[in-house]
Amino acid sequence: DTGVSQNPRHKITKRGQNVTFRCDPISEHNRLYWYRQTLGQGPEFLTYFQNEAQLEKSRLLSDRFSAERPKGSFSTLEIQRTEQGDSAMYLCASSWAGGGNQPQHFGDGTRLSIL
């Protein structure tokens, strides 16, 4: 059973550059979530998809952030014109929606560092 996979694991970039992260969920899961976690804090919700539809976006997701899940399988999260405050761990999770609460399963995250 393959878990949630995220790439890259680490990304270091200069302020102002664009970055893109990829998440491959557990294959039978129809929901995919993005969270952001800063040091010493719990993860904060950014957005989520059911199949290819983006159902909710947090106020944390500024106009510089965009997420896609074009075929209802993998997802990408792009940050344009990165800022120092974007430095964080970006976590992806997936779950199966249908028939009650189901736990979200997380990937190992992408750690973004802005120079």
Question: x-or-dash pattern for other proteins, window 65-94, by CB under 8 A?
Answer: ------------------------x-x-x-
14-43 residues near other proteins, rule: CB under 8 A = 31, 33, 35, 40-43
Cβ density class 79-110: b for 16+ within 10 Å, e for less: beebeeebbbbbbbbbbeeeeeeeebbbbebb
- Least distance in Å: CB of 13 to other proteins? 18
Rounded distance, CA 110 to CA 36, Å? 10
Which residues of the shown chain bind other proteins in the complex (CB under 8 A)?
A: 4, 6, 31, 33, 35, 40-45, 48, 55-56, 58, 89, 91, 93, 97, 101, 103-109, 111
